[in-house]
Amino acid sequence: MGEPGILGVHNLSMSLDGYVAGPRQDAENPLGVGGMRLHDWVFATRTGRRMIGEPGGSTGLDDAFLRRGETGTDGRGIGATIMGRNMFGPVRGPWPGPPAAPWRGWWGEEPPYHHPVFVLTHEPREPQPMAGGTTFHFVTDGIESALALARAAAGERELRLGGGATTIRQYLRAGLVDQLHLVLVPVLLGSGERLLDDDLSGRYAVSRTTPGDGGVTHVELDRVR
């Protein structure tokens, strides 16, 4: 048996002042107030437009990076995704029971994952199967447990750490992220969710910087071994 798949962050959009989401997330503002500007470059690409059911879009470098986020760096496809509860949705506290319809993610009935997704939360909930092969599993016993479950589900395939800031910060702190691909977006958000508040120097190093074709800059970091 080969090495299990790496854990990678792909296409994480970050403002010049270090925010990956604006403040006060709610159902109308999935990326927080003002945060959608972070994803303008995504929806200019063919892959980004396909995610929202729209035709067209650019097919240059930005698009290639987005596709790599789906195929993994080895091209074999992502086997499982881990995310925090706020990336999954705007619902806080205990999950509302019936008659309220359960929150099923931002992505509609067929989310663009097509593999198991492990959602970190303190609020237990039964798994939520969706169309197209995605099942949301809710993990209440921490980041290492979520990683073990994701690895077991993914087999040899790579794992994706989706976000948001709180979740990625914990995995970075624990040294569990193998690759971190940031997309620097030339906007100032002023407030929101910050990613890089810990000292990662000596633990992660920039391996490549690539100007994108939508005004953004792709910065790839690897864990120092």
Applying CB under 6 A, the residues found at the interface with ligand NAP are 12-13, 20-21, 25, 30-32, 35, 38, 83-87, 92, 120-123, 142-143, 162-167, 170, 193
Pick 12 or 153: Cβ nearer ligand NAP: 12
d(CA 40, CA 13): 10
Pick 2 or 97: Cβ nearer ligand NAP: 97
d(CA 174, CA 93): 26
Least Å distance, CB 141 to ligand NAP, is 7
Least Å distance, CB 53 to ligand NAP, is 19
Q: Tell the burial category of 215 from Cβ atoms under 10 Å away from its Cβ (0-12, 13-18, 19+).
A: middle
The dihedral built from the CA positions of residue 158, 46, 220 and 192, taken in this order, carries a sign that is negative
Closest residue (Cβ) to ligand NAP? 164
Least Å distance, CB 100 to ligand NAP, is 17
Least Å distance, CB 39 to ligand NAP, is 7
Quick one: which of 121, 116, 127 has its CA closest to 140?
121
Are the beta carbons of 206 and 221 closer than 8 angstroms?
yes
Looking at the DSSP bridge assignments, the partners of residue 204 are 201, 223
Q: Tell the burial category of 1 from Cβ atoms under 10 Å away from its Cβ (0-12, 13-18, 19+).
A: exposed
Pick 155 or 209: Cβ nearer ligand NAP: 209
Pick 76 or 122: Cβ nearer ligand NAP: 122
Residue with tokens 């620097």: 184
d(CA 3, CA 108): 34
Least Å distance, CB 14 to ligand NAP, is 6
d(CA 216, CA 27): 27
Identity of the amino acid at 50: R
Pick 1 or 96: Cβ nearer ligand NAP: 96
Pick 72 or 170: Cβ nearer ligand NAP: 170
Least Å distance, CB 33 to ligand NAP, is 10
